[in-house]
Amino acid sequence: MNHVQPTAKIRKPSAACGRGKGEGPTSGKSRFFTLTQLIVALISASLGWAGQADWQKDWERTVAAAKQEGQVNVYIYRYDGMLRDFMREFPGINVVSVTGRGNQLTTRIMSERRAGKYIPDVYSAGPGGAYNVLYKAKALDPIKPLLVLPEVVDESKWYGKEHRYADAEGKYVFAYLASPSDAQLSYNTTLVNPTEIKSYWDLTQPKWRGKIVGLDLRDGGLGGTMQFFYYSPELGPEFIRKFFGTMNIQFAKNFRQMTDWLSQGRYSICFGCKDSMRAKNQGLPVDDFDVTRWKEGSSFSSGGGSLSVLNQAPHPNAAKVFVNWFLSRRGQIALQKLGDVDDPPNSRRIDIPKDDVPPTNRMVPDGKYFDVVKPEYADQKPIFDLSKEIMAALEAKK
């Protein structure tokens, strides 16, 4: 990569530069101010070039050290397809990956650590697991100091013109997705007229009792939606208790089975059918509710898209290279190009094309959204406790 050092040329004054006809006594001051401005510009350019040289040297040293390490270990949720792009761009740095859902990955990491094994360098999955498990266990190093590339550091390139961290310290759990949520609510198109439902509270009407199938509330994959339900001032714990505790919902742990039941008409509404769009694309009578038009609006979250760096990582330099590439334009474009049918990623970067993101996964300009990734909504313990309370009460009635 070639970088051109900014330069400025000072022209020698010609003979014609003396005081001309009609030249006022202020022209000397004018020349002084012009010269001062030129000096300031030269100093600024010099400082800018020096800053550029600093990050470049840091980056080149890091890449060289990363190639000496030879690999980076990444525990990642479903987006492992883009890891090939990283290896093509950085030959000599192999990626060893473990894929799984956030709760599976965090459970594995903590189990390994209890056995004295420090294997992953990078965790990429839901911010809930990163914050509630890894951050609280003090298993993370700050990711913020590792950001080197100017295009990554520049917050104007990101949604809301800021880097969004899920932790209150603002440096450990980097949220890189802005995924508008359908609240994981789907319906059978032959049994439900979606225009009749204008609020989440409408789902608690007696007509829907016994006609809803839902994912077990103790399943960690409901994090963002449950945060929205719990922290939204228009919903809150009261809604959670009424919807999940009184609607005679058929709970299950296999969302593919739930989608089959929904498409067959066994149930009218599904909460947690993560592959509903796949079913729709196969021509089955299944669709997601457009909750952005509902009274309480929708939420947007990082879904399975947060990035953290483990402490005591075996390949710290390779981790630094990976993090910067992953959050760069190239990395986030590669992420969006995956074309994941069930969970299409929408990057928080706003300086990249969105053509590869389905319209349903883009932010609607006039939509009403509740940002659940804010640190004040990060604590999911009261949500887990409430979920366990509801499920225990339901099981006690059987």
**CA 178/CA 180 separation, integer angstroms:** 6
The whole-number pLDDT of residue 333 equals 97
DSSP reduced 3-state for 151: helix
Q: Which CATH architecture has domain 55-178+302-363?
A: 3-Layer(aba) Sandwich (3.40)
What's the pTM value of the predicted model, to 2 decimals? 0.71
The amino acid at 229: F
**CA 375/CA 95 separation, integer angstroms:** 31
Return the DSSP state at 170. S
Reply yes or no on whether the pLDDT at 27 is more than 70. Answer: no
Residue in this structure with the two tokens 């789902």, named with its chain if needed: 203
Question: Using CA atoms in the order 152, 155, 157, 158, what is the torsion angle rounded to 10 degrees?
Answer: 100
Which of residues 80 and 317 earns the better pLDDT score? Answer: 317
Domains 55-178+302-363 and 181-299+382-397 share a fold: yes
Quote the percentage of the chain above a pLDDT of 90: 68
Cβ atoms of residues 133 and 106 within 8 Å: yes
The amino acid at 86: F
Reply yes or no on whether the pLDDT at 36 is more than 90. Answer: no
Question: Which CATH superfamily, name and number, covers 181-299+382-397?
Answer: Periplasmic binding protein-like II (3.40.190.10)
Confidence at 38, pLDDT banded by 50, 70, 90: low
**CA 42/CA 54 separation, integer angstroms:** 18
Alpha helices by DSSP H, listed for 70-115, are 83-89, 102-114
Q: Facing residues of 158 across strands?
A: 349
Cβ atoms of residues 176 and 305 within 8 Å: yes
**CA 192/CA 184 separation, integer angstroms:** 16
The whole-number pLDDT of residue 394 equals 95
Reply yes or no on whether the pLDDT at 50 is more than 60. Answer: no
According to DSSP, the β-strands at 369-371 and 269-271 are: unpaired
By the 10 Å C-beta count (0-12 exposed, 13-18 middle, 19+ buried), 81 is classed as middle
Reply yes or no on whether the pLDDT at 286 is more than 80. Answer: yes
**CA 268/CA 177 separation, integer angstroms:** 30
Would you kindly state where each structural domain of the chain is located, as residue ranges?
55-178+302-363, 181-299+382-397
What is the maximum alpha-carbon separation in the chain? 103
